[in-house]
Structure 1
Amino acid sequence: MKTKILVVDDETDLEMLIKQKFRRKIRESVYEFVFATNGQEAMQRISEHPDTSVILSDINMPVMDGLTLLTQTHAQYPGMKTVIVSAYGDLGNLRTAMNRGAFDFVVKPVDFADLEVTIEKTADQVRQLRETLRAIQENNILKMYVDETVLNFMTRPDFENRLLASETVEATVVFLDICGFTSLAEKLPATDVVSLLNTYFDLVVKEIIAQGGYVDKFMGDAVMAVFRGDNHLDNAIDAALSARTALKQSNATLPAGFEYRPEVSIGVNTGEVVSGNIGSASLKRLDYTVIGDVVNTSQRLQAAGKPGQIIISEAVYLKVKEAFKCQFVSEVKLKNKAEPVKIYEVVE
Structure 2
Amino acid sequence: MTKILVADDEADLELLIKQRFRKQIRENKYQFVFALNGKEALAQLEVEKDIDVVLSDINMPEMDGLTLLSQLTELSPLIKTVIVSAYGDMDNIRTAMNRGAFDFICKPVNFQDLELTIEKTVQHVNQLKKTLQAIKENDILRMYVDESVLHFMKSKEFEKALMANEIIDATVVFIDICGFTSIMEKEPADKVVKLLNKYFDVMVKAIIAQGGHVDKFMGDAVMAVFRGDFHLDRAIEASLTLRAQIEALPPEENGAGYMPKVSIGINSGEMISGNIGSATLKRLDYTVLGDVVNTAQRLQSAATAGQIFIEESSYQKVKEFFNCRKVGEFTVKNKEKPLVAYEVLN
- TM-score range relative to shorter protein: 0.7 to 0.9
Amino acid at match of 1:326: F
Counterpart secondary structure, 2:6: strand
Counterpart secondary structure, 2:337: coil
Write the distance in 2 (CA, Å) between the matches of 1:225 and 1:185: 24
Write the distance in 2 (CA, Å) between the matches of 1:266 and 1:216: 15
Write the distance in 1 (CA, Å) between the matches of 2:273 and 2:340: 26
Counterpart secondary structure, 1:53: strand
Write the distance in 2 (CA, Å) between the matches of 1:78 and 1:233: 54
1:300 maps onto 2:298 in alignment: yes
Cα pair 2:56 2:81 within 8 Å, conserved:
yes
Shift of 1:91: 6.3
Residues 84-103 of structure 1, C-alpha deviations (whole Å, 9 max, x = no match): 33455566655654455433
Shift of 1:208: 3.5
Tell me what 1:272 maps to: 270
Tell me what 1:58 maps to: 57
Shift of 1:222: 2.7
Cα pair 1:175 1:224 within 8 Å, conserved:
yes
- For residues 69-218 of structure 1, the aligned pairs below 5 Å read 69-87=68-86, 97-98=96-97, 100-133=99-132, 148=145, 166-181=165-180, 184=182, 189=186, 191=188, 194-195=192-193, 196-209=195-208, 213-218=212-217
In structure 1, stretches of 5+ residues that fail to align are: none
Counterpart secondary structure, 1:266: strand
Shift of 1:70: 3.2
Shift of 1:38: 1.6
Q: Which moved further from structure 2: 325-334 or 280-289?
A: 280-289
Amino acid at match of 1:327: N
1:249 maps onto 2:248 in alignment: yes
Cα pair 1:314 1:344 within 8 Å, conserved:
no
Tell me what 1:330 maps to: 326
Amino acid at match of 1:261: M
Q: Which moved further from structure 2: 285-294 or 156-165?
A: 156-165
Write the distance in 2 (CA, Å) between the matches of 1:313 and 1:95: 79
Counterpart secondary structure, 2:323: strand
Counterpart secondary structure, 2:63: coil
Cα pair 2:299 2:310 within 8 Å, conserved:
yes
Give identity over the alignment, percent. Answer: 58
Write the distance in 1 (CA, Å) between the matches of 2:228 and 2:91: 59
CA RMSD between the two structures: 4.3
Write the distance in 1 (CA, Å) between the matches of 2:209 and 2:71: 42
Residues 30/247 of structure 1: CA separation in 2 closer, same or farther (3 Å cut): closer
Write the distance in 2 (CA, Å) between the matches of 1:221 and 1:298: 16
Shift of 1:250: 1.4
Write the distance in 1 (CA, Å) between the matches of 2:316 and 2:106: 81
Counterpart secondary structure, 2:172: strand
Residues 258-283 of structure 1, C-alpha deviations (whole Å, 9 max, x = no match): 4x422222223334322334455678
Residues 223-275 of structure 1, C-alpha deviations (whole Å, 9 max, x = no match): 222345677556544432332232122122433xx4x4222222233343223
Write the distance in 2 (CA, Å) between the matches of 1:315 and 1:194: 38
Shift of 1:42: 1.0
Task: Number of aligned residue pairs: give it.
Answer: 336
In structure 2, stretches of 5+ residues that fail to align are: none
Cα pair 1:331 1:340 within 8 Å, conserved:
no
| TM-score when normalising by structure 2 | 0.73
Counterpart secondary structure, 1:56: strand
